[in-house]
Amino acid sequence: MNLALEYRPRRFSEVVGQLPVVAVLRSMVRSGDVQPALLFSGSHGTGKTSVGRIFASGLNCGTSDDGDACGSCVNCISVQEGTSSSVIEIDAASHGLVDDIRNLRELLTYQMVAGWTVVLLDEAQSMSQEAYNALLKILEEPPPQTCFVLLTTEPHRISETVKSRCMSFSFRRIPDPLLTDRLGWVAEQQGINVQVEVLQEIARLADGGLRDALMLLDQANRVGCLAIEEFQEMFGIAEIGYELLEAALNRDTLEGLGLLDKFFYRSGDSDELLRMLSRSLTQIMVRVAGGGSDVQSEALTRLAASAHPAQLAAGAKLLWDAPTRISHLDPRTGVEMVFILLQDAFDPQMPIPQTREVPASKEGSARLTLSAMVEKANESVG
């Protein structure tokens, strides 16, 4: 069994990074006062479907522990294995037409199930308007002891009339430190001897999704890439954000294009490269503004001591607009164009202090200074 399945949460107490959601749902289970329609929205891999199943388990668990499913009784096991008659899971991307919802309504009308019936509508944003209208009729007069849970990564596409009848829950991206801790625990349980730097890199790449993080750890373990150098070599990942920014500030086109050439030889993920540049530039701006940083990098320290705030702000403005600017180009050409434009955005006429001592200040002051940088960017870049 792969790690993502083996360590999928089966109880509320095992859910990572979604404390507000878990607290409200446990309260519903504990009191029995359940809303007929819930909307779970958030990025993929943040636990929406797992929490929906745990919620259904808790409602039907014979030995519920303070609103949490026990995870080991017959009802809980059948829900997790997908064999429970109390849980109906529908992929709305392929079964989201009006006839599918009408069939669901008929099924719920005649279904005889003790306890609660929970309907999980995955990819709810893919339903047709006619299907939303049919679902609306069910939500207005829901069958007794029935709860509909709509799962979506795009809540703005859900029908407003349906959304207004749902209690909404926002699933947040899981912070990197929590992901790293969870990955470390899983590695310990599995006897995987992995460097903490690899776990941190996996957490960063997973972008807040625990499922993706576990799958990447599984891949790294299967091929034996458990040291950071091996991991980066195998998975084509290299942190070149600072080096690229330094090349752009120095107007060293050949150096920058050489770095891009190596990056695309190993990876080719242009979206990840743009995120890397934005992340690195943000760290530099925070350091210039006197804020703290967990990042330890000589390049970060060097750039923070030499780059002018107005240059950094202009570069940030360009990176914010970059996805739209290069959408019509192939990925590599687009990123190379961004690098060329970065050189101009950094304004070669701006006097760059050779060295300076970066002041230490409170985080609030850092935010104020960053706001001033953004205002300066709007003046500097059209």
pLDDT at 167: 95
Single out the residue in 171, 189, 207 at which a domain terminates.
171
Where a domain ends, among 188, 205, 235?
235
220 and 268 share one domain: no
Q: How far apart are CA 108 and CA 99, in angstroms?
A: 14
Instruction: Mark whether 28 and 128 lie in a shared domain.
Output: yes
Looking at residue 366, its pLDDT comes to 44
Please give the Cα distance from 131 to 231 (Å, whole number): 46
Residues 249 and 359 in one domain: yes
CA distance 3 to 20: 26
Domain count, the chain: 3
Final residue in a domain of this structure, among 235, 254, 279: 235
CA angle 209, 213, 215 (to 5 degrees): 120
Same structural domain for residues 306 and 231?
Answer: no
Same domain, 42 and 160: yes
Distance CA 148, CA 254 (A): 57
Average pLDDT over residues 284-301: 75
- The pLDDT of residue 381: 45
At residue 64, does pLDDT exceed 90? no
Reduced 3-state DSSP string for 16-42:
CCCHHHHHHHHHHHHHCCCCCEEEEEE
**Three-state secondary structure call for residue 75:** helix
In this structure, the answer to whether residues 116 and 142 fall within a common structural domain is yes
Residues in the chain: 382
- How would you write 258-316 as a 3-class SS string? HHHHHHHHHCCCHHHHHHHHHHHHHHHHHHHCCCCCCCCCHHHHHHHHHCCHHHHHHHH
Contact (Cβ atoms closer than 8 angstroms) between residue 191 and residue 197: no
348-357: b or e for each residue (b if 16 or more CB lie within 10 Å)?
Answer: eeeeeeeeee
* DSSP annotation of 96: -
Is 365's pLDDT higher than 70?
no
| Whether residue 47 sits in one domain with residue 85 | yes
Mean pLDDT score, 96-113: 83
Instruction: Please list the helix, strand and coil fractions of the chain in percent, rounded to the nearest 5, in that order.
Output: 60, 10, 35
Is residue 352 scored above 60 in pLDDT? no
CATH classification of the domain holding 163:
3.40.50.300
What pTM was estimated for this model as a whole? 0.72
**Looking at residue 360, what is its pLDDT?**
47
Domain range for 126 is 3-171
Check if the beta carbon of residue 117 is closer than 8 Å to that of residue 146: yes
Look-up of token digits 């849980």: 87
End-to-end Cα separation, the chain, in angstroms: 53
CATH of the domain at 212: 1.10.8
CATH of residue 245's domain is 1.20.272
Verify that 180 and 167 share a domain, yes or no: no
Check residues 204 and 235 and name the one with the higher pLDDT. 204
**Is residue 354 over pLDDT 60?**
no
DSSP 186-228: HHHHHT----HHHHHHHHHHHTT-HHHHHHHHHHHHHHT--SH
Cβ 216 vs Cβ 2: under 8 Å? no
3-class DSSP state for residue 153? coil
Identify the pLDDT of residue 191.
93
The secondary structure of 97-127, three-state, reads CHHHHHHHHHHHHHCCCCCCEEEEEECHHHC
Average pLDDT in the chain: 84
Residues 29 and 160 in one domain: yes
Contacts of 210 (CB under 8 A, 6+ apart): 16, 17, 45, 46, 47, 174, 179, 182
Distances (CA, A) of 360 to 240, 282, 287, 289, 363: 26, 17, 9, 8, 9
User: Which whole number is the average pLDDT over 360-378?
Assistant: 47
Tokens describing residue 128: 């047709």
Query: How far apart, in whole angstroms, are the C-alpha atoms of residue 130 and residue 144?
Result: 24
pLDDT 10s digits, 132-142 = 999 998 998 88
* pLDDT, average across residues 225-243: 80
With a cut of 90, say whether residue 170 has pLDDT above it.
yes
How sure is the predictor about 355, in pLDDT bands with cuts at 50, 70 and 90?
Answer: very low
Q: Are residues 230 and 165 in the same domain?
A: no
Looking at the structure, tell me whether residues 133 and 194 fall in a common domain.
Answer: no
Q: Are residues 292 and 329 in the same domain?
A: yes
Query: Residue 68: helix, strand or coil by DSSP?
Result: strand
